[in-house]
A and B are shown apart, each in its own frame.
Chain A
């Protein structure tokens, strides 16, 4: 079943076309990696799926979820480096989208946050300060927050950037586990090898899509095999 379909998307940013002719469907349980060079429109595409940038033409349609029910893991900001916030406060803030006008978190929200903390193995960190954690732990916290906001789709913007190899590996394993539990994943990545290894689908973007299809097919194409051999830099 499709949960997201994009048709002929045309997105401008600062009066310049950054994404053109993008159409794709995302099915329940898909694991899509969006790859491409810097400035190829990956983040812009993700932001317009999230409703943060309006496309000039084309349409984005969701089935079974609302746009605000996507779990989003943005790139970290400089503000967060010295931000006083406990892990629990950060994770709970993911429950905000299911609230409407209620000012406070309900016991159901707290239970949900607790479940996600346990699911990601960071329950023992919940009273710690977010800014004191390691990069890998911080990504887990943001992942737990994203999971509080969604039941079906996670969107991640370069989640392994800045992580050491061991922590990246852990994060990929974790994402695979979540994916096998039925959560669809869309991830922007610089790491083509891992994208092919872990993901089920690839979208290679250079303003227009160069490839969209199964990850297993990607290596057989011209553009894909070049990328995997590292001849073009991502």
Chain B
């Protein structure tokens, strides 16, 4: 098995995918903690579907995908936040609306222009081969932006996530930070989408945060563990997608195997968390018994 892996890792496209994936996984895990806690988990899902629609447009018009996707998905992120704050259509409904509309629009554009083919499947579920050297630079750039901003604003992000009213009352511009998180999320989604697939990139955002919250109880530990977990799960998932070949001679899409590994980690943490709780309860009952004696 190791020799197969060694062979794979000698290919430039695999190494590129590894770089892109690690940076994207790291960033999405960091942003995911805030998104999950603020009940914005579906924003990632909505934005990735918008991303699919924009890719279809780019394909049809023969334009570079990222140049079309980045501004449009950023715009969608802005609209989603505005809409969910102000309008009569509430947050989750607004996201469902935008997300299915852009998926439908993307489907129509593809059918009319290039026709449904292997390309579409790649966009939906991810393709390792799609990573170019420009993607590596872009993902490093995006990761640097996310990491630096996250570090600088870490305490403010915590305060805004934990208690918006208090943050506002003590002079933090809450709207700006919500917007910042949405924009960074949009950026990460566009960069990671072609590797993970539009259907599955949101898994990368929500899973690490949800998994680490099963066991850990402080914000800092959840943030750090999410980042570490995301990178480990990404790596394992990618290795699985490389070495397992399907009966038809293909490979499992990387997006799918990465999300599957994340699901495995989530279940593991869920069980550990439940055991910990049970153990604490047992100890408490024992203590009470002894106190009663």
Contact = CB atoms under 8 A, between A and B. Distances in A.
Interface of A: 50-52, 67-68, 70, 72, 74, 77, 79-80, 82-86, 89-90, 92-94, 96-97, 103-105, 129, 131-132, 145-146, 149
Contacts of A146: 166
A43 B170 CA distance: 17
Contacts of A97: 170-172
A86 B158 CA distance: 11
B155 A104 contact: yes
A50 B171 CA distance: 9
A77 B37 CA distance: 12
Given A72-B166, A74-B166, A96-B156, A131 B217 contact: yes
Contacts of A89: 158, 218-220
Given A79-B39, A93-B155, A103-B152, A85 B172 contact: no
Contacts of B172: 96-97
B163 interface: yes
A174 to B, nearest CB: 19
A131 B171 CA distance: 25
Interface in B197-252: 213, 216-222
A92 to B, nearest CB: 8
Interface residues of B, number: 31
Contact of B162 (A50, A52, A72, A80): A80
A140 to B, nearest CB: 15
Given A77-B164, A93-B163, A132-B217, 4 more contacts: A84-B213, A85-B158, A85-B162, A93-B159
Interface of B: 37-39, 151-156, 158-159, 161-172, 213, 216-222
B155 A50 contact: no
A49 to B, nearest CB: 9
Q: Which of B38, B161, B170 has the largest count of A CB atoms less than 10 A from its CB?
A: B170
Given A52-B169, A96-B155, A97-B170, A86 B217 contact: yes
Nearest to A51: B169
A129 B151 CA distance: 23
Contacts of A105: 155
Given A79-B38, A85-B219, A74 B158 contact: no
A203 to B, nearest CB: 19
Q: Which 5 A-B pairs have the closest CB atoms?
A: A68-B171, A129-B217, A97-B170, A86-B218, A74-B165
